[in-house]
Amino acid sequence: MVATLSLLLAAFSAGRNSTASTAISRRPATATVVVGAGDTLWRIAARAAPGADPRATIEKILRLNGLHVSSVRPGQRILVPAR
C-alpha cells in the first residue's frame, strides 16, 4: 500500500513538472519598454517590430499588458514582443 502510494505521488509530481516546463516554453519573448514623452502605442509597436503591421503588434502589446485602452503615459513600463 505504501509503495503504491509512493509510486502515485512520484508519477503525479513528474507530470506536474513536465507541464510546468511546457508552460514556460510557450511564453512569448518580450522586452520591457519605458514610454517616453510623445510616444504612442503605434510608435512603440513600429519600433518593436519594424516591417510588421503595427496594428497586430499593438494587439499583442495590449494582451501582454492586460490593457483595455490604447493610451499610454510617459514613464509607464510596458511589455512588447521581442524581435
Size of the chain in residues: 83
pLDDT band at 83 (very low <50, low <70, confident <90, very high): confident
pLDDT at 55: 97
C-alpha to C-alpha distance for 61 and 13, rounded to whole angstroms: 35
Model confidence pLDDT, tens digit, residues 42-54: 999 999 999 999 9
Selection from 20, 42, 31 nearest residue 65 by Cα: 31
Distances (CA, A) of 24 to 21, 28, 29: 5, 9, 11
pLDDT at 1: 58
Q: Residue 33 carries which side chain, given as an amino acid letter?
A: V
